[in-house]
Amino acid sequence: MSGPTDRSWRVTRRTLGLSALAALGGTAAGTWPRWAFWRTAAGASLAALASLPQAAALRALGARIVGEGMDQGLEARLEAKLAPDGYDAAVARDRAAGRFVTVDGWRVPETAALAAVWLASAGQSR
Amino acid sequence: MFLDGRTPPGGAALGADLAIIGAGAAGITLARALAGRGLKIALIESGGLEWSEAAADLGAGSLGEQHYGDLAYVRLRQFGGTTGHWGGWCRELDAIDFEPRDFVPLSGWPIAKSDLAPFYPEAQSILQLGPARYDDFAAVAAEAKAEAPIAPGGDMEAVLFEFSPPTRMGEVYRAELEQSDVAVWLNTTVSDIRLSDDLTTVTGLVLSRDGAPPLAMAVRHVVAACGGLSNPQLLLNADSQVAGGIGNAHDQVGRCFAEHPIVETFAAILALGPATGAPFAFRDTSVGNRRYRPAFQPSAAARRAKGRLSTLVTINEPGPAFDPATGGFDRWDEARLGPQATGAAIAALSGAGPLRLHYRSAGFETRPNPDSRVTLTAARDRFGGRRIKLDWRLSDADLDDYLANLEDLGRAFAAAGTAVIRIDPEARARYRADTSWGHHHMGTTRMGDDPRVSVCDGDGRVHGMANLWIAGSSLFTTPGAANPTLTIVALALRLADRLKKAFAP
C-alpha cells in the first residue's frame, strides 16, 4: 500500500525521468559536444559546484531526485547552463525565463536541479 | 415594521405592491432602496430575527456524489440571511467576467460590467467599505510601505480584496427597517406562487407558517431573493399551475449551479521576503481604517490569450518556519508538503534568513455546467414543499486552469525572487475529496438573452413573466472568481432602480 509520499515520489520520477530533464538538456547536449567542455575553462565551472555555499543543500536536494536515467548527458546539460557565467547567473536566468523542473512538487530552477543531481552523485565515474 | 407570520394582524386582506422573498443581502438591499416611496412592501423571511433549527430545517436536502455541506446549514435562514456568518470578502467582478468567451461555454452575461458599475459604489457603502481600490495594488502597497511581490505587467497580476467589517445586515439595518414603511414578515415561508390565467403574471403568494393555516397575499410585483439554492427551489415548487415550475419551460431552473472550489492545501509557497517572513503579499494590511488582502490572478489579457479561467490566489497565515541553523522546519505536514528533506533543501538553497512556509488558498472560476444542478426530491418539508438535491459537479478542466494559473504565479514569484512555489503532485487525485467551497451558490437562475439556456433576462426578470424578478447570485451567468456578496448587493441596487421605473406613474 502506498502512501502520499510514495505516490508523490512516483510522480516526481515521472516528471523528472526521461522526459523533463532529457528534454531540457537535449538541445544543449546536441549543440555542445561533451568533449568540448572538458577541454575548456567551462569544464572548471562544473567542478566548482562543490565549493558553492549551496553545495550541501544541493546534495540534499539531489538525494531526492537522483535515479535511473537521470544522469544521461548530465554534464553536458549542466555545462551548457554554467558555461557563460556560472551557477548563480544560470539559476537567475532559469527563474527569469520560467525554466523549472518539479521535485516533490517544488518548482526548482533547471540549473539547480541538474547541479543537485550532479553533486549528489559526485565522485562516481562518468 | 416587523410582523411575526405566526401571529399576523387580522382584518384586511393581505396585499403588497412589492413582495420580496428572503431577507438576506439582496432582499434587505432592495427593501431599503425602495422604502419610503409610498409603496406597500412586504419583506418575507422564513426565519426569525435569530437562527433556529426549525427555520434551518426548511433548507435541508440531499447531495449528489460530490461532498458538500449539510444543506440545512450552508446558509442562514434568518433576518439578515447568510451575512450573519459572512467572512466579509469583497471584490468586484472583472469586466472580462461578463464577456462571452469562446473557451467558456455558455459565457456572456446579458449585461456588461459598465451596466453594473454605477451601482458598485453604493454597494461599497452598504457593506461599509471604502472607495473601491481592488485594482490599485501598487498604490496600496506603497501606502503600506511594502514592496510589490511580483512585477507588474505580466501574465499574473496582484490585486486586492477589501474586507467588510463584515456587515451583518440583520443587525446593521434592523432598526432602519423596523422604523420604515416596509413590513418585514418573519417566520413566514412562501410555499406557492399564484399566477394569472394566462400564466404570465404573478397575482399572489401563499404564505405558510407554523401553528396556523396558510395566508394568501395579493401582489403587484415579486422578487425572489432567497439565494442560489432556495430561488430554484421556490420556482420549481411553484408548480400548482405550471408543470415543472415557474420559469422552467426550458428545464433551466436549477441548472448551472456554480460554487467557488476552495483548495487551501494544494499549493504552498516558501516566502523569501524580509526576515519577518511577512511581506505585503503574504498578510493583510490596513491603510487607514480599510483592511486589504493581496491576491493574485491571471490578467484579462492572459486569460484571453491562454483561454484560461480566472483564479484568485491568496496567501494564508505563516505555517512552518525554517531555521537555517538547524537546517529544518519547526513543524511539518508530510501528507500536504511532501518530504521535509526536500522542503529543507529548497529553503537552504535560498540562502536567506528565517523563512516561512504558507499555504495558498484559492477560489477559482468554473465553467457553467448544466449537469451541476439543484433539483427537487420526493421528500417534503413541513409546509409540503419538496426538498432539494444538490448535485455539484466539479470539472477536471477547471482544475487544470487553476493549476496552470498556479504555475504562472510560481514563475512570477520566482522571477521576482519573492517566493518558491510547491504544487502538490497529488492535486488532481485529491481534487474531489479535498475541495472545500465558499458557500457561494450561483448560477441556478442565470441571466441570459436566450430563454433556452437561461432563466432571467438582463434585468433579472424571469423569462416570460411580467412581474416576477430574481435577485442574488443565482443570477450570475458565470461565477467569476471573486466572492459574490458585493456583486449581489450591486445587482440588487440595479434591480431596485429597474423597479422604481416599473412603479413609476
B421-438 tens-digit pLDDT: 999 999 999 999 999 999
Query: A54 vs B411: CB contact, 8 Å cut-off?
Result: no
Query: A56 vs B348: CB contact, 8 Å cut-off?
Result: yes
- pLDDT, mean over chain A: 70
Domain boundaries along the sequence of chain B: 1-128+167-257+445-505, 130-163+261-364+395-434
d(CA A42, CA A119): 17
Q: Which among B349, B411, B422 is the nearest to A58, CB-wise?
A: B349
- The CATH code of the domain at B1-128+167-257+445-505 is 3.50.50.60
At B484, phi and psi to the nearest 5? -85, -15
Average pLDDT over every residue of B376-383: 98
| Partners of B271 in beta bridges | B356, B419
CB of A90 less than 8 A from some CB of B: no
Residue-wise over B289-317: b if at least 16 C-beta within 10 A, else e? ebbbbbbbbbbeebbeeeebbbbbbbbbe
As given in the structure block, the three cell numbers for residue B67 are: 461532498
Contact B9, B183 (CB under 8 A): no
Distance of CA B209 to the CA centre of its chain: 29
Which residues of chain B neighbour A114 with C-beta distances below 8 Å? none
Identify the pLDDT of residue A31: 38
At B222, the pLDDT band (50, 70, 90 cuts) reads very high
Identify the pLDDT of residue A14: 41
Helices (H) and strands (E) in chain B — how many of each? 15, 22
Q: Which among B338, B417, B422 is the nearest to A5, CB-wise?
A: B338
Q: Mind listing the pLDDT tens digit for each residue in B351-376?
A: 666 677 887 778 899 999 999 999 99
Contact B423, A105 (CB under 8 A): yes
Distance from CA of B324 to the nearest CA of A (A): 11
Chain A / chain B CB contacts < 8 angstroms: 87
- pLDDT, mean over chain B: 93
Distance from CA of B435 to the nearest CA of A (A): 17
As given in the structure block, the three cell numbers for residue B497 are: 432602480
Residue-wise over B206-241: b if at least 16 C-beta within 10 A, else e? bbbbeeeebbebebbbbbbbbbbbbbbbbbbbbbee
Distance from CA of B104 to the nearest CA of A (A): 27
CB of A112 less than 8 A from some CB of B: yes
Which residues of chain B neighbour A105 with C-beta distances below 8 Å? 337-338, 422-425
Average pLDDT over every residue of B394-422: 93
Q: Which residue's C-alpha cell is 539531489?
A: A62
d(CA B25, CA B89): 14
d(CA A43, CA A89): 16
Residue A68 has pLDDT above 60, yes or no: no
Average pLDDT over every residue of B152-181: 96
CA angle B251, B255, B261 (to 5 degrees): 175
Q: Which among A4, A60, A102 is the nearest to B335, CB-wise?
A: A4
d(CA A126, CA B330): 39
* ipTM score of complex: 0.85
Pairing of β B468-470 and β B212-224: parallel
Report for A10-14, B292-296, B461-465: range of highest mean pLDDT: B461-465
Contact B444, B232 (CB under 8 A): yes
Q: What is the percent of chain B with per-residue pLDDT over 70, rounded to a whole number?
A: 96
At A2, the pLDDT band (50, 70, 90 cuts) reads very low
Widest pairwise Cα distance in chain B: 81
Q: Mind listing the pLDDT tens digit for each residue in B109-153?
A: 999 999 999 999 999 999 999 999 999 988 888 887 777 788 888
Residue of B150, B270, B333, B349 best to disrupt the A interface, most CBs of A under 10 A: B349
Q: Mind listing the pLDDT tens digit for each residue in B468-482?
A: 999 999 999 999 999
DSSP E strands, B324-403? 328-329, 355-364, 373-380, 386-391
A37 burial (CB, 10 Å; 0-12 / 13-18 / 19+) is: buried
Q: Mind listing the pLDDT tens digit for each residue in B65-94?
A: 999 999 999 999 999 999 999 999 999 999
Identify the pLDDT of residue B274: 53
Residue of A94, A104, A108, A117 best to disrupt the B interface, most CBs of B under 10 A: A104
Find the helix or strand (DSSP H, E) in which B143 lies: helix B137-143
d(CA B374, CA B445): 10
Q: Which CA distances in Å does B22 have to B18, B224, B472?
A: 13, 7, 10
Pairing of β B373-380 and β B386-391: antiparallel
Identify the pLDDT of residue B10: 64
